[in-house]
Amino acid sequence: MTTPTPSNETHTLGRPTIPAVDQHIVKPTNPIIAKVHATRICTVSKKAAGFVRHIEFDVSGTPLENTWHAGQSFGVIPPGTQPNGKAHKLRLYSIAAPTGGETGDGTIITTTVKRVVDEHWNTHKLFKGICSNYLCDLQIGDEVTLTGPVGKRFLLPQNPADHDYIFIATGTGIAPFRSMILDLIKLNMPSKVALLMGTPYESDLLYHSDLTNWANEHQSFTYHTAISRHITPTQSKKLYVQDRLGEDFGILGPMLASDRTLIYICGIAGMELGVFQTLAKLLPPDQLAQYLELAPEIANDIDHWERKMIPKKIKKTKRVFLEVY
Ligand code: A2P
């Protein structure tokens, strides 16, 4: 474990060039109608604690066709109205399909949706998320109103082969990484890629057999799971994704030390603090400075860092990409 020293320098080493991509080609004022092309459970087990679906939409012949890049999102406008009588607002979903879509011709856009089911804190009545349950209920051939694409930062660099990648996901935060990994596979996996994936139970892992197969097929792609609520044959203690950084430091340490490596984080809000704290504990100051710029007064007090210190006191560099919700 090392103690980082503060730094006010600008670090340009390994800084990626992010391509300029089109956004808002289909606006909420003039959305398109797509049809459900496929829908399937994408957890390991149908008995997983959460219900998560991989849903594909056919956008052929619409202005949304072939517009998106891996890492972007698209909008869904659920039918019906809010209690105040106004139309439901648009919700954004991360695209899980690669650039060019599931079939490569730009016609099939995909997302990964978890049903939101909860209890109202004061009335203790059942709360069902409007859009997630609408999407998960859809059948093949059903029509849905879409917009997009949206997003200009959470993207692979202009020349993906110039970099290596540590992708850190929890739950449906896997969606943009499925998309990016498929883009990298299309390029014959020119980079080292490590995917760290966190779920409560093994049965909740998403796209697990695909990811396992891809790791078997591509030597430079490694897949690291972190199960938070039980131990498994390959994991002797409960782990969060950030704990995987230390557990698998043999593979991840050299990647983190390399000027080529970019870190992408997507999933549960709050995980970024844990990831940043773990990086601060694992990396020597010169390496840490490639990913984080720290205010001097907090640099030596990692265990007391709080989320509200991001981004003023804990500032990510251009080599870290964050999308949490
Ligand atoms: P847990 O819920 O056991 O605390 P899902 O979206 O499928 O619910 O998965 C989210 C995963 O992220 C769970 O394994 C959850 O663990 C874990 N998690 C919750 N809080 C954090 C955090 N602050 N940092 C990293 N992982 C977290």
Domain definitions of the chain by residue range: 24-150, 160-324
Contact indicator for 8, 29 with CB cutoff of 8 Å = no
Active-site positions? 93-94, 266, 323, 325
Helix or strand or coil: residue 287?
helix
For 160-324, give the CATH class. alpha beta
| Integer CA distances (angstroms), 75 to 33, 111, 147, 210, 304, in order | 12, 11, 5, 26, 38
Between strands 164-170 and 193-199, the pairing is parallel
Architecture in CATH for domain 24-150: Beta Barrel (2.40)
Residue in the structure block whose two tokens are 């909008």: 75
Residue of 168, 228, 237 to test ligand 1 pocket, by largest number of atoms within 8 Å of CB? 228
User: How many residues in total does the chain contain?
Assistant: 325
Greatest extent of the chain over all pairs of C-alpha atoms, in Å: 58
Contact indicator for 131, 15 with CB cutoff of 8 Å = no
Q: From its phi and psi, is residue 148 left (phi > 0), alpha (psi between -120 and 50) or beta?
A: left
Contact indicator for 240, 234 with CB cutoff of 8 Å = no
So what's the pLDDT on residue 317?
A: 97
So what's the pLDDT on residue 12?
A: 57
Burial of 79 (0-12, 13-18, 19+ CB in 10 A): exposed
The CA 268 to ligand 1 mean position distance, Å, reads 7
So what's the pLDDT on residue 1?
A: 41
Write out the chain's pLDDT in tens, 325 residues: 444 444 444 445 678 999 999 999 999 999 999 999 999 999 998 888 899 999 999 999 999 999 999 999 999 999 999 999 999 999 999 999 999 999 999 999 999 999 999 999 999 999 999 999 999 999 999 999 999 999 999 999 999 999 999 999 999 999 999 999 999 999 999 999 999 999 999 999 999 999 999 999 999 999 999 999 999 998 999 999 999 999 999 999 999 999 999 999 999 999 999 999 999 999 999 999 999 999 999 999 999 999 999 999 999 999 999 999 9
Between strands 126-128 and 117-119, the pairing is antiparallel
Q: Taking the CA atoms of the chain, what radius of gyration do you get in angstroms?
A: 20
Locate 69 and state its tokens. Answer: 């890049």
> What's phi and psi for 168, nearest 5 deg?
-120, 120
So what's the pLDDT on residue 303?
A: 97
> What is the rounded distance in angstroms from the CA atom of residue 170 to the CA atom of residue 40?
20
Locate 312 and state its tokens. Answer: 């003023």
Residue type, 168: I
Query: What pTM was computed for the model?
Result: 0.95
Contact indicator for 160, 167 with CB cutoff of 8 Å = no
Contact indicator for 39, 54 with CB cutoff of 8 Å = yes
The CA 160 to ligand 1 mean position distance, Å, reads 29
So what's the pLDDT on residue 15?
A: 87
> What's phi and psi for 174, nearest 5 deg?
-70, -25
Residue of 42, 113, 170 to test ligand 1 pocket, by largest number of atoms within 8 Å of CB? 170
| Closest among 70, 57, 132, 131 to 323, alpha carbons compared | 70
The CA 43 to ligand 1 mean position distance, Å, reads 16
So what's the pLDDT on residue 294?
A: 97
